[in-house]
Amino acid sequence: MPIIRKKSSSAKRVQSVRQVSNFEELNDVNIESVGNAQDGHVLVYDASIDKFVLVDPDVVLSTSVQDSDLPDDFISQLEGELDLGEIQIDVLDGGGF
């Protein structure tokens, strides 16, 4: 006797219910490799590629002051959190210019 099957009219969709365990498994994150070179980097959104990427925090800070002005709320927060009396000027490193 032949087997007769009903033709399915819709394609079955399979969705993973397993939780994401690291950034590389997310579709909107573009991290090619993570190693010592990326230690200390921050995750930021890159609108040009519509993904999150790792960026050196120095680049983030340099970009934020390209117009020579920091947001007033950022300055206010720094003033509130920093106690200038606790900073030892003899070991303060201003970086290279």
What is the residue whose two structure tokens read 């201003």?
94
**Is 9 a member of any domain?**
no
The whole-chain average pLDDT of the chain stands at 76
Structural domains counted in the chain:
1
In a domain, 41, yes or no: yes
pTM listed for this prediction: 0.46
Residue 47 has, within 13 A of its CA and on its CB side, a CA count of: 0
* Residue 48 domain-assigned (yes or no): yes
Closest among 43, 71, 37 to 57, alpha carbons compared: 43
11 occurs within a structural domain = no
Residue 45 lies in a domain: yes
Q: 46 pairs with which residues across the strands?
A: 51
Q: How far apart are the first and last CA of the chain?
A: 87
Tens of pLDDT, residue by residue over 48-91, are: 988 888 888 888 888 877 777 777 888 888 888 877 777 666 66
Which of the four pLDDT bands, split at 50, 70 and 90, describes residue 24? low
What integer pLDDT is reported at residue 9 of this predicted model?
65
Q: Is residue 1 one of the residues assigned to a domain?
A: no
Q: Which residue has the tokens 């690291």?
A: 22
Whether residue 36 lies inside any domain: the answer is: yes
Boundaries of domain holding 28: 21-58
